[in-house]
């Protein structure tokens, strides 16, 4: 199972949100996201999850130059997945040409399934769909709108498009350090043939142990955010546990 540190970028800084709230409860952890990426690479991370929060809010590649700096710094040592405002094939092509390995599409996938289909056709093996759930329903637009679509129903629809993985986040837990929603993550993983990445609320080594216990259901990785930056989870300890389990 992959352990994937997250770097959320807002105004050029590495931040973490609580429940996706872009206006309140924003914690700044570093003014140098490139150095943070280097830190995770040096600690042995095989993958890195980057979110352009400004891009998610505006639909434009606000932090493109900074993201390219991060890619240049660590691309030879880890896979890089990027999300946040990816809403055109041109944007995807620019970032993939710059060296990202996976593009994470969320709101655009839900609202424009034709775009997702085209993205999968043009960039096979490099598209991850973010399914952000609230009480089992998918949320969009920076989690401000909750649709009537169930997470599992949409996943079943999209798996035939050729997506590489689903990134599932329980938004009620994201950034709250209240523990991962194991049950919902497993339910999704068992419903589809595409691997699932767990996200939202992971607090400590016990969450990693619980995810490893259900890894065989189809869980390929876990996004680690606030737990790493607040120190409730030691990355090297978690990595050692995963390696031992393998």
Q: What are phi and psi of 112, to 5 degrees?
A: -135, 75
Give the three-class secondary structure for 9. strand
- Cα gap 174→21, rounded to integer Å: 10
Question: Which among 101, 132, 170, 207 is annotated as catalytic?
Answer: 132
State yes or no: is 8 an active-site residue.
yes
Candidate list 8, 54, 170, 174, residue with the active-site label: 8
Residue 174 annotated as catalytic: no
Q: Show the CA angle centred on residue 219, arms to residues 218 and 220, nearest 5°.
A: 110
Phi, psi at residue 29, to the nearest 5°?
-105, -25
E-assigned strands of 43-187? 47-52, 79-83, 102-105, 127-134, 137-140, 145-150, 165-170
Number of helices followed by number of strands (H, E) in the chain: 11, 12
Q: What is the CA radius of gyration of the chain?
A: 16
CA distance 144 to 106: 13
10 Å CB burial of residue 163 (0-12, 13-18, 19+) is buried
Among residues 227, 94, 199, which one has the least CA distance to residue 237? Answer: 227
Residues designated catalytic: 8, 132
């Amino acid at each position: 199972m992959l352990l994937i540190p997250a770097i959320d970028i807002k105004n050029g800084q590495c931040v973490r949100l609580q429940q996706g709230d872009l206006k309140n409860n924003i914690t700044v952890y570093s003014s140098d996201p490139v150095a943070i990426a280097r830190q995770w690479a040096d600690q042995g991370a095989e993958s890195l999850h980057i979110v352009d929060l400004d891009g998610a809010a505006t639909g434009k590649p606000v932090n493109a130059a900074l993201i390219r700096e991060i890619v240049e710094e660590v691309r030879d040592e880890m896979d890089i997945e990027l999300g946040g405002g990816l809403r055109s094939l041109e944007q995807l092509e620019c970032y993939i040409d710059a060296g990202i390995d996976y593009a994470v599409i969320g709101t655009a996938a839900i609202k424009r399934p034709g775009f997702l289909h085209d993205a999968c056709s043009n960039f096979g093996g490099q598209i991850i769909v973010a399914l952000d759930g609230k009480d089992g329903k998918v949320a969009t637009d920076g989690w401000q709108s909750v649709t009537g679509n169930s997470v599992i129903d949409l996943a079943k629809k999209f798996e035939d498009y050729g997506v590489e993985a689903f990134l599932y986040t329980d938004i009620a837990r994201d950034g709250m350090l209240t523990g991962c929603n194991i049950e919902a993550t497993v339910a999704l993983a068992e419903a589809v043939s595409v691997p699932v990445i767990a996200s939202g609320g992971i607090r400590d080594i016990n969450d990693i142990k619980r995810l490893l216990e259900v890894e065989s259901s189809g869980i390929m990785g876990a996004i680690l955010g606030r737990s790493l930056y607040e120190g409730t989870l030691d990355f090297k300890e978690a990595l050692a546990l995963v390696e031992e389990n393998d």
